[in-house]
Every structure is written in C-alpha cells, then in structure tokens.
Amino acid sequence: MKKGRRKLTNEPAVFVLEKGSQYKGAISEGKYFSVFFEMFENLLATNGVESDMLGFSGCKLDLAVFLAKFLSMAEFQGTELRMKEGATHDFNPDSSPC
C-alpha cells in the first residue's frame, strides 16, 4: 500500500472491475455467487433496467450497510426452515414478560 499524504475530496472514489476480470468459470461460482447474481438481476428488473453493468454509490456507512444486507440475505437464502411438531419447551410467546 502506498504511504503518503491522503487527498481529501468530496468526489466519490470509484473502483471499476474490468468485465470478466473476476470471473474464472465455475471455480468462481462459490457459495454466494448464484444468490448475489439473482439479487442483482432482481434489483435491475424491479427498477425496469436491463444492463450487464451495475454500480453502487453512496457514503461508506450506507454502502457498508447495503452490502451487509445483501450478504445477510444471501446467507438466509440457503437456510432451510422446518416446522417442529409435537411438544416443545422452547420460547412461548404467551408467557413472555414483554
């Protein structure tokens, strides 16, 4: 990392990935690839946009929250929920002190 004086600017820092620079075939399609790709497709479709390019801009805090939500949704997407039958001694909302 280059050390030196930092340049303060009001302009956004833009980091651009050259098309295909990250994708290395099936080996690139790890745990979250399909989920993220589908979310990006849905984001574009919901806003009536058809494009191979996608960009996000905002302050660091908002972008961190936005991307963390994407990751959280990706993790939840693979979760299988099953209904438990029979007696349980787990949380009972009727006896909750709240």
Question: Does residue 82 belong to any structural domain of this protein?
Answer: no
**Is the distance from CB of 68 to CB of 29 less than 8 angstroms?**
no
Question: Does residue 45 belong to any structural domain of this protein?
Answer: yes
Question: Does residue 51 belong to any structural domain of this protein?
Answer: yes
Averaged pLDDT for residues 1-8: 73
Domain that holds residue 49: 33-77
Q: What is the pLDDT of residues 43-94, one digit of tens each?
A: 899 999 999 988 888 888 988 998 888 888 777 766 665 666 666 666 555 6
| 68, 26, 18, 35 alpha-carbon torsion, rounded to 10° | -30
Query: pTM, whole model, 2 decimals?
Result: 0.58
Question: Does residue 27 belong to any structural domain of this protein?
Answer: no
Question: Does residue 6 belong to any structural domain of this protein?
Answer: no
Question: Does residue 40 belong to any structural domain of this protein?
Answer: yes
**Structural domain total, the chain:** 1
Q: In this structure, what DSSP letter does residue 81 have?
A: P
